[in-house]
Amino acid sequence: MRVKHPIQYLRVSLLNKCNLNCFYCRPQNEKEVPEWNRSNPDKCKQALSLLYSMGVRKIRFTGGEPTLYKELPDLITFSKSLGPDVKSALTSNGILLAKLAPELRLAGLDSVNISIDTLDPTKFTSITSRDYLDRVLDGITCAKEYIPEVKLNTVVMKGVNDDEVANLIEFANSMKVNIRFIEYMPSRTGTPHYKYISGNEIRNSLPYEFSALGQSGASAARYYKANNLDIKVGFINPVSHSFCNNCNRLRLAADGKLYGCLFDGRNINLFELLEQDDIKAQQETIKLVNDKQFQGCSGVASSQDNLPSFLEMGG
Ligand code: SAM
């Protein structure tokens, strides 16, 4: 059996706990909040080795909040040891990066995406239920000092932070880091979708003369330049412009479940399969990849009972 679609990019959710409590990420209904789960580091390494042998070359650690996972540096070093062509990346809320960035760089971290939805301390607290904006800002400064590539990610929500997009661009420009604006995606367990606003609507409302840059590889972002900006501004529009056709991703959750898509609840338990037999684990992975549906994400989330929350899958 052969894979029909290349799989090069793995997102590994290390735990389903976070030190923020963002209203759009955490399940709304307390009953849906997942049981505490953290990845087993040895099983995770086994899974990484298998997926590397099947073509994965970019490994992004996410969560929950991956910097709360104490074996993170060890897993980064392990990923880099798989081959010289492996890129290791992290998605983080930045809170612990002022403390951890030097150690993560020493471990081999190539790139970090830091999530920041607002620069207003009051709004930060109302989105995340925590008064930690200063820590995130320190985390960005420190990451910039140590990690070769730093990007900012903002989920834009109507009536929440859509009035801050230009400010966030100016902030990113002052820090000399690229920023990407992500469309708010539907989620089975999340808030209602009336806060959705399309990436094009956001871009057209901005006071910049943007010129489009080519899309790089299978990146989900479309990047733009403007004369008065030193940075690139990206838009990730999974709802209005599905990028399923270019998708080369797999997602490994903390419980060992491997998913082909954030919006497809079908999965295999890679940790359990690897306990039985490597060949079977490989065949089941190929089947999962070959069965991937390229259907976009709008509207499909609410209909699937088995779809994990963003908190579990890591966005
Ligand atoms: N804790 C880390 C962080 O904050 O980046 C990693 C996990 S978090 C789930 C990963 C990303 O998913 C964050 O940038 C978050 O904003 C995004 N996210 C969560 N829920 C989302 C939604 N409904 N639509 C779009 N992005 C979402």
The per-residue pLDDT for range 244-272, each reduced to its tens digit, is 877 889 999 999 999 998 888 889 999 99
**Distance between Cα 93 and ligand 1 center (Å):** 9
Q: Which atom of ligand 1 is nearest to the CA of 113?
A: 5
CA of 25 to the centre of ligand 1 (A): 6
User: Is 179 inside any structural domain?
Assistant: yes
Q: pLDDT band at 219, cuts 50/70/90?
A: confident
C-alpha span between 266 and 264 (Å, rounded): 6
Name the DSSP class of 66: G
Give 91 Cα–ligand 1 centroid separation in angstroms. Answer: 9
Q: Output the CA 239–ligand 1 centroid distance in Å.
A: 15
As a whole number, the mean pLDDT across the chain is 92
pLDDT(36) > 90: no
Question: Considering the domain boundaries, does residue 120 fall inside one?
Answer: yes
Q: Packing angle between helix 278-290 and helix 41-53, nearest 10 degrees?
A: 70
Residue 36 inside a domain? The answer is: yes
pLDDT average, residue stretch 205-223: 88
192 assigned to some structural domain: yes
The helix (run of H) or strand (run of E) holding residue 155 is strand 149-156
Instruction: Take atom 18 of ligand 1 and give the residue whose Cα is closest.
Output: 315
Q: In a 3-state reduction of DSSP, which class is residue 269?
A: strand
Q: How far apart are CA 230 and CA 161, in angstroms?
A: 23
Residue 107 sits in a domain whose CATH number is 3.20.20.70
Query: Is the model's pLDDT at 185 over the cut of 90?
Result: no
What pLDDT score does 231 carry? 98
- Sign for the pseudo-dihedral over CA of 35, 100, 8, 189: positive
- DSSP 3-state of 142: helix
Per-residue pLDDT, 267: 94
Banded pLDDT at 162 (limits 50, 70, 90): very high
Contacts of 84 (CB under 8 A, 6+ apart): none
| Residue 233 forms part of a structural domain | yes
Q: Give mean pLDDT, residues 64-83.
A: 98
Q: Whose CA is nearest to atom 20 of ligand 1?
A: 25
Question: How large a percentage of the chain has pLDDT more than 70?
Answer: 93
pLDDT, tens digit, 9 for 90 and up, residues 226-236: 999 999 999 99
Residue 1 lies in a domain: no
Question: Which residues contact ligand 1 via a Cβ below 6 A?
Answer: 18, 24-25, 62-63, 65, 91-93, 115, 153, 155, 182, 184-185, 187, 190, 310-311, 314-315
Q: Is the pLDDT of residue 124 over 70?
A: yes
The span from the CA of 312 to the CA of 26, in Å, is: 9
Q: How many domains does the chain have?
A: 1
Residue 86 and residue 109: Cα distance in Å, rounded? 10
Q: Which ligand 1 atom is at minimum distance from the Cα of 187? A: 23
Which of 17, 25, 118 is the pocket-test mutation for ligand 1 (most atoms within 8 Å of CB)?
A: 25
Structure tokens at 270: 């890679």
In a domain, 60, yes or no: yes
Quote the domain boundaries for residue 237. 9-313
Q: Work out the burial of residue 306: count CB atoms within 10 Å of its CB; fewer than 13 is exposed, 13-18 middle, 19 or more buried.
A: exposed
Give me ligand 1 centre to Cα 160, in Å.
15
In a domain, 3, yes or no: no
Cβ atoms 29, 189 nearer than 8 A: yes
